[in-house]
Copies of this chain bind each other. A is one copy, B any other.
Amino acid sequence: MKPKIEDVAKVAGVSPTTVSRVLNNRGYIGEKTREKVHKAMEQLNYYPNEVARSLFIKKTFLIGLIFPTTSNPFYGQLIFHLENLASELGYKVLLCNSQGREDKERSYLRMLQRNQVDGIIAGAHNKGIEEYEDPNLPVVGIDRYLSTKIPVVSSDNYQGGEKATQLLIEKGCRSIVHINGPISLETPANMRRKAYEDVMERNGLTPLTYEYEANDSVFSLLFEENPEVDGIFASDDLIAARVMQEARNRGIDIPTKLKIVGYDGTETTRLLLPELTTIEQPVREIAVKALEILMKQINKEEDYESATILPVKLIESDTTRK
């Protein structure tokens, strides 16, 4: 059986209260007693039961993370930073892959509440989960408006859309198509599209957006319906990669005939596909900010921003450069 405080006390020849005092550094403790206790703990290989402790102090030092999937390099990297930073602050991380499914997100949310997490950071992209309206515990959204009361952290999606579109125009593209993932109206990521449309119109060009909904035929369709396309702004790097594939299959040379700009610029993309021009999101900064705001909520500080927008960076490479 796992040793408990009582067992440690018996071995050290002191009272349970004294052991607890040593563990929590409370009250007066003599040097020799402290040593005796530590020796006993080592001898028994004792470690405190956090579950019991959590129950009493009403705090678990647990944070729930809800994201679509760690498989995606952007989320993988974001989650990496979040876990890392949380761990430095003494918090542990419960991981939830919602897979873009509303029912999953709902049940994860319930699960996290039952497990008394101290806070939640959510970047899943499901619409209308009313549970967020009164979660009854600190929540921060990433790139996602969860409810009016929940603070959001995101990168400057509008700026990113502008930079991407402007670059393509500067490089001489005239028939520029935008392709994005499933549209959810409440998402700041939609600002990418808005910016694209604004910039296009400002330049007297007609915006045209395709939507990628797990149906691979859009890639082919895009080229069939727009043989004159000379620029594509993809809403993420994985989609950009698919576009590059399709162009290659059709013998369209990049960048002479077609220029492409992606979005995200994760480490993985930049290692595997360094030739892709992309808009880099400040992943680490997003994580830092989200956690900072969550901690403020947890510590009942009131002075946190309800929306934080971080700047993005254009990384130019071969797909837009001769």
Contacts and interface: CB of A to CB of B under 8 A. Distances in A.
Interface of A: 2, 45, 47-52, 54-55, 60, 65, 69-73, 75-77, 79-80, 83-84, 87, 92-97, 99, 110-111, 113-116, 136, 237-238, 241-242, 245, 266-269, 271-274
Contacts of A60: 51
A2 B114 CA distance: 11
Given A73-B268, A80-B70, A51 B55 contact: yes
Contacts of A269: 272
A114 to B, nearest CB: 5
A76 B83 contact: no
Given A55-B55, A71-B77, A71-B267, A47 B273 contact: no
B272 A49 contact: no
A87 to B, nearest CB: 8
Contacts of A94: 92-95
Contacts of A84: 97, 99
Q: Which of A97, A99, A241, A272 has its CB near the most chain B CB atoms (within 10 A)?
A: A272
Given A47-B110, A55-B51, A79-B95, A242 B267 contact: no
Nearest to A113: B47
A71 B110 CA distance: 27
A284 to B, nearest CB: 11
Protomer copies: 2
Contact of A49 (B69, B114, B237): B114
A322 to B, nearest CB: 16
A271 B114 contact: no
B274 A272 contact: no
Nearest to A61: B115
Nearest to A86: B95
Contact of A116 (B50, B83, B87, B111): B50
Contacts of A116: 49-51
A299 B47 CA distance: 23
Contacts of A268: 71-73, 238, 268, 272
A83 to B, nearest CB: 5
A23 B136 CA distance: 22
Nearest to A64: B92
Contacts of A48: 114
A97 B79 CA distance: 10
